[in-house]
Amino acid sequence: MTPPHDLQASVVVVTWNGRERLAESLPAIVGQQGVRHEAIVVDNGSSDGTAAWVREAHPSVRLVELSENTGFAAGNNRGFEAARAPLVATINNDAIPDPDWLAGLVRAAAAHPDAGMFASRMVYLHDPEIIDSAGISLDPLGIAWDRNAGTPLSDDADGAIFGASAGAALYRRELLQATGGFDERFFAYLEDVDLAWRARWLGWNAQYVASARVRHMHSATWAEDSPLKTYHLGRNKVWLIAKNFPLGPLLRWLPLILAYDAASLPVTVWRQRSLAAVRGRLAGLGRLPEIWRSRAHFSPGESQSSQAPGMAGLEAAGPRRPATWSELREVMEPLRSPLAIWRRHRRLRRALRPTPETPAPRS
């Protein structure tokens, strides 16, 4: 499909039984100012009338209807395949962008030609003075988290980051072509970290754009600490590490990776009164041989494939200079103590608690 010559960006929104949330977010997405864009809604087999509502309420929106819930990763890939612009944005159905959100990301893409990922300033819907995500942070143990989550806006500034949270991000089409998009085996959670890591290995940089603000209802589809979310996080963490660590650093860091995980796992099980975290890790290990075969890094003598399975219809872009492990270490966060990590999680949980004056996020 030939893209319209004046189309600057495509915005992909994946939804599953989220008609109520989409009714709040889609008008803001369609009404973005200062940029020529298209909106694409990927309906992941919803049973709440989402597709019919989109056709009636927003006839200008391009609708991709799937027969079943294929997950956030696959749903976005179907949207990427339908997108016609050179820049493709992703945004959650529970995120409401400011009118100039997309224009700010497009301006950043023009100003930073070496970057292929652009992260938004995501703030809590129930408390817009607190950051939900300012991109992706990653440490040498493969632990990923939302950068600056739970901190006040005063701590926020533009700059280079490891990667973009797909809850509200902009990607160059060339990056999506080169990587194959999201790894659909992840289904949901950490698929954006995996994409960022694979893109980093290919030589793409990432930028945070503080002016591109969205208000986000954190974990509106699967509640924070829910068994489903915990299961997918545990499973996908195993795959993330297996896919993206070079063999040498993996062997060096593996004892600490296992030690930190062994320390956190009992706390998670006790707090949630659930074995979902254990089941997720076992499921990840069960498919480890398959995941290992799709390693995406560029160490000498190892696989040089960066394509994730599942995305079709996009030809691979031209080669870039592959990054080295030392270069990636420069954009990773320093290793923190288990106590510091526990405090970071506690800060996030406190930020998610509504004050008496603000409503609680829906789950």
Q: pLDDT tens-digit profile of 172-226?
A: 999 999 999 999 999 999 999 999 999 999 999 999 999 999 999 865 555 567 8
Structural domains in the chain plus CATH codes:
9-216 (3.90.550.10)
Sequence-ordered list of residues with C-beta below 8 angstroms from that of 234, at least 6 positions apart, any chain: 276, 277, 278, 279, 280, 281, 283, 284
Give the pLDDT score at 339.
Answer: 87
The three-state secondary structure class of 318 is: coil
pLDDT at position 138 is 98
* Pair type for strands 37-44 and 144-146: unpaired
pTM value is 0.90
Cβ-Cβ contacts under 8 Å for 56 (sequence gap 6 or more): none
Distance of CA 323 to the CA centre of its chain: 21
* Residues of the chain under the 50 pLDDT cut: 1-2, 297-306, 313-314, 316, 355-363
Q: What is the pLDDT of residue 346?
A: 84
SS3 category, 15:
strand
Quick one: pLDDT at residue 92?
97
List, in order, residues 6 or more apart from 242 with CB less than 8 Å away: 284, 288, 291, 292, 295
Q: Alpha-carbon distance 126 to 144, whole Å?
A: 24
